[in-house]
Structure 1
Amino acid sequence: MKILVAGATGKTGIRLVKRLAAGGHTPVALVRKSSDTSSLPDQTQLRVGDLADLPAGVCDGCDVVIFAAGSGGDTGADMTDKIDRDGAMALIDQAAESGVARFVMLSSVGADDPDSKSDLAHYLQAKHDADEYLKASGLTYAIVRPVSLTDDDGTGDVILGRDVDPHAKAARGDVARVLADAVSSDDWGGKTRLMQTA
């Protein structure tokens, strides 16, 4: 399948794109003009676009779209809204217009019911809004909500759903594995699940 990945040059995104390519898919990286694409596999196709101002037709010809982007931990509330909420919503709209078969969202633990007292309250609210928008879009979706991320490759052994410890860790490598699986697995269609590395 041809799979568009937003956030393809991020720490999780690079692992995801490599896994998709190794699985025989054609990854399409949505990148800004300034993005460093040197770590992406050779077979990766590039589409230039900024989530803060998406060009029309960015999802055309793609079977699946994965949102694995983020504004980053050092940005303010305005950029969080532009990327994690509004950018995600704009990509969902374009995916629906292009008739993609599935939209996979990388979300976060806590996005189901954001804690207003949390240090991450604004971020979690943005993720919550984007998740709810996806659920109402009519697209077949999968929403992955990992616990706190580490930069490890992981073990491939993950826990999903109700048995997840919200205070555990999730290796980015394992998150990439789960996102890649959610692209086509029947177990993920229309599902929202927490995840952690076992």
Structure 2
Amino acid sequence: MHVLVAGATGKTGLRLVRELQTRGHQPVALVREGSDTAALPEGATLRRGDLTNLDTDVCDGCDAVVFAAGSGGSTDDAMTDKVDRDGAIRLIDLASDAGVDRFVMLSSVGADDPDPDSDLAHYLQAKHAADEHLKASGLSYAIVRPVALTDDDGGGDVRFGDAVDVRGKAARGDVATVLAQAVTDSDWTGQTRTMESAPA
């Protein structure tokens, strides 16, 4: 499958691109002009695009899309809205127009019911809006909501749903594996699941 990865040069996105390759897929890395693509593995296709101003043909030729992008922890509310809410919503709409088979969203724990008193309230509200738009889009979808991310590779032992400690940790390597699995696994179709890496 040709899988468009938004956020392909990020800490989770890079791991996801590699994981998709190991599963026999052709990752298509969506990258902004001027992005550092040196860490992307050989064989990944590059497609230029900016989530704040996407071209209408960005999803053409792709079987699936994974949104693994983020505005970053140091950006203001306006940029959070542009990337995490509006950029995601626009990409969902373009994926639908292009006849994409599956859209996988990297969301966050707490996005189901954002706490207005949380330090991450605005970010979680943006993720909530994007998640809800995806659910209503008519696309085959999967939404992955990890707890706090670490830069570890992880060991592949993960928990979902009620078994998750919302104060736990999720290794980016494990998250990438789950995202790649959700691209094709029918058990993920129409599912929204929280996840964590099981403690060692």
- The TM-score normalised by the length of structure 1 is 0.99
Q: Match for residue 184 of structure 1?
A: 184
Could you state the TM-score of these two structures normalised by the residue count of structure 2?
A: 0.98
- Give the C-alpha shift of residue 162 in structure 1: 1.4
Cα distance, 1:156 vs structure 2: 0.4
2:164 and 2:139 mapped to 1: Cα distance?
A: 26
Whole-Å separation in 2 of the counterparts to 1:104 and 1:74: 25
Tell me what 2:54 maps to. 54
- Residue 42 (structure 1) shift: 1.1
1:91 aligns with 2:91: yes
Tell me the amino acid that sits aligned with residue 99 of structure 2. Answer: G
CA distance in 2: counterparts of 1:55 and 1:31, whole angstroms: 13
Structure 2 gaps, min length 5 = none
CA distance in 1, matches of 2:70, 2:156: 23
Equivalents in 1 of 2:167, 2:187: separation in Å? 25
The residue aligned with 1:25 is 25
| DSSP 3-state at the match of 2:193 | strand
AA matched with 1:165 = D
Q: CA deviation at 1:8?
A: 0.2
Q: Within 2, Cα distance between the matches of 1:132 and 1:34?
A: 32
What whole-Å deviation, never above 9, does each CA across 1:109-141 have from its counterpart, x for those lacking one? Answer: 000000000000000000000000000000000
Give the superposition deviation at 1:100.
0.5
CA RMSD in angstroms, aligned pairs only? 0.4
Residue in 1 that maps onto 2:169: 169
Distance 1:25 1:194 in 2: 25
Query: Gaps (5+ residues) in structure 1?
Result: none
Q: What is the aligned-residue identity percentage?
A: 69
Describe the SS at the equivalent of 2:12.
helix
SS of the residue 2:28 aligns to: strand
Deviation per CA, 1:161-181: give whole Å up to 9, x if none. 111110000000000000000
Give the secondary structure class of the aligned counterpart of 1:183: helix
Could you list the per-position Cα deviations for residues 31-90 of structure 1 after superposition, in whole angstroms to 9, with x for gaps in the alignment?
001111111111100110000000111000100000000000000000000000000000
Letter in 2 for 1:54: L
Runs of 4+ in 1 over 3 A off after TM superposition: none
